[in-house]
Amino acid sequence: MLIAVLCAILGGCAAQPEPEPVRIGAPVDPQMQMVAALYRGALRAQGMTVAQPVVVAGDRALLDAMSADDLDLFPSTVQALLATVLPPGSIAAETAASAPTEFGDGAYTLLSRSLPTGVVLGDPLSPGASESAGQPVPVYRAVRFGRTDVKALNKVAGELTPADLADMTRRWQSGQDRVALVDEWLGRHGFV
């Protein structure tokens, strides 16, 4: 009887179902696909189950998939996303009116306000704010990631240099295995 009461209080004795695998997307740009592969590897190193393959589509399709709860994470750049979510010609004026952040001009702030509800931006790639136009930044559904998961994404952003990214992308496009390249980088940076 005591066991039955404890099971009822604790939510049941049956094993809890496994959470759905994290679904990752990437724009068609090969460097963004490499960043997505790095995020995938970093999350797997955290113990998360991550779906394969990475969904490749345009930024609008990726945002729509995220709004429809069909995707959890994708990398892009602040400028590419702004061009997707704001009308042409309004970006410069609206960016100038937005408050700067630790990541540079008001573009990051403006984009954060322009994303669908529940969708947030992580830290952009490690270069300084003056290089923010083309920096990869993770876009993700906040409800899918805990604090340690976000730290893993931010660690990728903090340690991945543009030179690393360009080199890995070049080597992948030259025929080297992307998984091996990602595992090598993650190993050098303490993820595995």
pLDDT in tens, 90-134: 666 666 666 555 555 678 888 888 898 999 999 888 764 434 477
All domains of the chain in start order, with CATH: 19-188 (3.40.190.10)
111-120 residue pLDDT tens: 888 898 999 9
Name the β-bridge partners of 145.
none
- What is the structure's pLDDT at 131? 46
Contacts of 29 by beta carbon, 8 Å cutoff, 6+ apart: none
Those residues whose C-beta lies under 8 Å from the C-beta of residue 79, and which sit 6 or more positions away, are 107, 133, 134
**Full-model pTM:** 0.83
Average pLDDT estimate for 16-23: 84
**CB under 8 A, 24+ apart: contacts of 105-108:** 105/129, 105/132, 107/78, 107/79, 107/82, 107/132, 107/133, 108/78, 108/132, 108/137
Mean pLDDT, range 11-35, rounded to an integer? 84
Distances (CA, A) of 31 to 34, 124, 190: 5, 14, 22
